Amino acid sequence: MNYFQLFDLPEQFELDLAELGSRYLALQKRFHPDNYAAGSERDRLLAVQQTANINDAYHSLKHPLLRAEHMLALRGIKLSNEQRSFTDPAFLMQQMELREQLAELATVVDPEQALYDIEQELQQQRKALLRALHQALASGTAAQDQLAAELVRKLKFFYKLQQELELIEQQLQD
């Protein structure tokens, strides 16, 4: 299913989240089970199914990584549940170092400052990758789609790092 078509939105990475939100609410209202209370059982089932589709679509389009994955899936590149190992040594070395910095946060003199510094760096790297992803997806060639897939894989590591960072932030506050 093409989630962009469901929301009647152009199939592109750049997305107005406010527009997505208002279309989501309008669609939900239209397919609300109450509207089909007097309809046939088949109509009621279809409305329930459509509501589920609308929720899935909204969830996928809202998050930039899932949106990129959906766009690539529409172009024949399936990334979700991918089991292949990622093997770019330089990138992984950098990930390892960032993980080490996070692990050592609790022992540094000024953990809050160190946390802030790492957060800034993560944000910067994420932004640069998202910009490159935007460009690659806009091109639409097979080679650029493969590059986009590689960028999505890299971004997944950075989102994971962000989660780890937020966990540590909470621990520091407690």
Partner 1 sequence: MAYSNKVIDHYENPRNVGSFAKDDPSVATGMVGAPACGDVMKLQIKVNEQGVIEDAKFKTYGCGSAIASSSLVTEWVKGKTLDEAQQIKNTDIAQELALPPVKIHCSILAEDAIKAAIADYKQKRGG
Task: State in angstroms the smallest separation of the CB of 160 from partner 1.
Answer: 3
In whole angstroms, give the CA distance from residue 135 to residue 129. Answer: 10
28 counts as binding partner 1 under rule CB under 8 A: no
Q: Candidates 92, 106, 128, 138: give the one binding partner 1 (CB under 8 A).
A: 92
Residues 126/115, Cβ–Cβ less than 8 Å? no
159 counts as binding partner 1 under rule CB under 8 A: yes
122 counts as binding partner 1 under rule CB under 8 A: no
Choices 9-17, 22-30, 76-84, 113-121 (CB under 8 A): range interacting with partner 1: 76-84
- 11 exposed, middle or buried (CB, 10 Å; 0-12, 13-18, 19+)? middle
Choices 12-20, 89-97, 110-118, 125-133 (CB under 8 A): range interacting with partner 1: 89-97
Instruction: Supply angle C-alpha 162, 3, 79, rounded to 5.
Output: 50
- 161 exposed, middle or buried (CB, 10 Å; 0-12, 13-18, 19+)? buried
Q: Candidates 53, 95, 125, 144: give the one binding partner 1 (CB under 8 A).
A: 95
